[in-house]
Amino acid sequence: MSDDHERHDSDHELRVSKIRDGTVIDHVRGGQALNVLAILGIDGSEGEEVSVGMNVPSDRLARKDIVKVEGRELSQDEVDVLSLIAPDATINIVRNYEVVEKHRVERPEEVTGVLSCPNPGCITTGDEPVSSRFEVLEDGVRCTYCETIVREEIASLIET
């Protein structure tokens, strides 16, 4: 990474306020920030301190969103689901204003019990409790049971 790139990136960092302790989710695909918040179960009703930057110019993506969540470090499960809608995202863990951990999200091979199948005939949507399971594809997810493939609006399938 060149110095120019670093400078460029830190300029953009200034667009949203710094946080003291928490998580910065950077390089989210433009327009996905609200879905990221939905995945994290954040709607502001519990007084969560959140900063969102939307459609910020980015080198790596044409436009990116940034989500900063004060006082919360994400679990691996949350990161796994995030990776489905924000495969290029970078997770920065911040403690005392310093980034102490920074890593790209990795798409898991499958996710269990986090998405609900949109197929009403699927065994996982029946009365018998069967945990949903989706295989993660390059461009979407596929139900392991009925093989329904979902490429759009994956966030809307997240089980609550």
**CB 143, min distance to Zn ion, A:** 3
Q: What is the C-alpha R_g of the chain?
A: 17
Residue (16 or 81) nearer to Zn ion, CB: 81
Between 33 and 84, CB nearer to Zn ion: 84
143 near Zn ion, judged by CB under 5 A: yes
Choose one: 7-15, 87-95, 101-109, 144-152; the region binding Zn ion (CB under 5 A). 144-152
* Cα 50 from Cα 48, distance rounded (Å): 6
**Closest CB 119 distance from Zn ion, rounded Å:** 5
Q: SS3 letters for 15-39?
A: CCCCCCCEEEEEEEECCCHHHHHHH
**Cβ-count burial of 40 within 10 angstroms (0-12 exposed, 13-18 middle, 19+ buried)?**
buried
Task: In angstroms, give the least distance from the CB of 130 to Zn ion.
Answer: 10
Binders of Zn ion among 45-84, rule CB under 5 A?
none
How many Cβ atoms are within 10 Å of 101's Cβ, its own excluded?
11
Nearest distance from C-beta of residue 6 to Zn ion, angstroms: 45
Comparison of 48 and 145: residue with beta carbon closer to Zn ion: 145
Q: Does 157 bind Zn ion (CB under 5 A)?
A: no
Residue 146 makes contact with Zn ion by CB under 5 A = yes
Cα torsion through 33, 34, 37, 39, rounded to 10: -100
107-126 mask for Zn ion (x: CB under 5 A)? ----------x-x--x----
Contact footprint for Zn ion (CB under 5 A): 117, 119, 122, 143, 145-146, 148
